[in-house]
Amino acid sequence: MLPFIHLGHLLVPTFGIMIAVAMVVAYYVMRADMARRGLAAKDTSTAEMFVAVPALCGIVGAKLYHVLETPRELLADPVGQLFSRYGLAWFGGLIGGLAAFVWLARKFKIPMLDMFDAGSAAAAIGYGVGRIGCLLSGDGDYGKPTSLPWGMSFPNGLVPTTERVHPTPIYELIAACVIAWILWQLGTRQLQTRKERGASGASAGTVFAAYLILTGLARFLVEFIRINPRSVFGVLTNAQTASLACVVAGVALWLRVATKPA
């Protein structure tokens, strides 16, 4: 593993590099989705705003959520916890990114659910690419010990282990790619239905609802082989609890838009 790249006296974290790559990938997917929906032309900077601002707010939200999960450690060393080079929580990133998305949608006067639909595939693939940063840095997001042939060890990681463990970031990348493809296809079907039947033919919000359900399920399942502690009733991790909330929100949104009168 390679947590940092040495450029003279400068240490560049590979996690940060992959976050930047994730933003670029998400930008191109977002730009294409917004263009096909008629929300913004490809030659405008609108898509850049809808990737850069939520991504930065997501990082802040992920860091705050992570440190607030362990208040005792935060109070013992607030500066060290807040400005450490690792430690991000997926659900906190989702909250921060969604809040920024809402603000931008209002600012650009774009219907909220249409904007969420347009950003779903980009969010899914961006998350997957960003997870490779966890793999490269060996920051403890790997899984439990395994004898499977693709098991990996992280002797030089930020959270080192010499045991062969599940490379869960790779699992999450694969899941994210599949989810992004499904969401893109759902968006295509949504737009075709809208074109055939008019604006009321396909309810806005269905793609975003699918994003919440699928990403929540993926994270919930992968947590069973992660090394995170079972802190909720001794059975579920914090991430699994957040994932269930995500799934419930997605199902509620799906039912709402599916039963909305045309």
| Domain ranges across the chain | 4-258
Instruction: Look up the pTM and report it.
Output: 0.86
Cα–Cα–Cα angle for 92, 93, 99, rounded to 5 degrees: 90
- Give the C-alpha separation, 230 to 219, whole Å: 15
| pLDDT confidence of residue 202 | 62
Q: Which residues pair with 152 in a beta bridge?
A: 165
| pLDDT confidence of residue 88 | 66
Q: Do 97 and 57 form a contact (C-beta atoms < 8 A)?
A: yes
Copy the structure tokens of residue 192. 């075709």
Q: φ, ψ for residue 13 (rounded to 5)?
A: -70, 130
The answer for residues whose C-beta is within 8 angstroms of residue 215's C-beta and 6 or more apart is: 123, 124, 127, 176, 179, 246
| pLDDT confidence of residue 83 | 65
Q: Do 239 and 228 form a contact (C-beta atoms < 8 A)?
A: yes
Per-10-residue mean pLDDT for the chain, 262 residues long? 82 86 91 91 84 86 78 73 64 83 90 92 93 90 94 92 96 97 96 76 85 96 89 83 94 88 56
- Give the C-alpha separation, 122 to 134, whole Å: 19
| pLDDT confidence of residue 221 | 96
Angstrom distances, CA of residue 244 to CA of 206, 231, 240, 262: 18, 15, 6, 30
| pLDDT confidence of residue 217 | 97
| pLDDT confidence of residue 239 | 85
Nearest to 216 by CA among 175, 157, 168, 186: 175
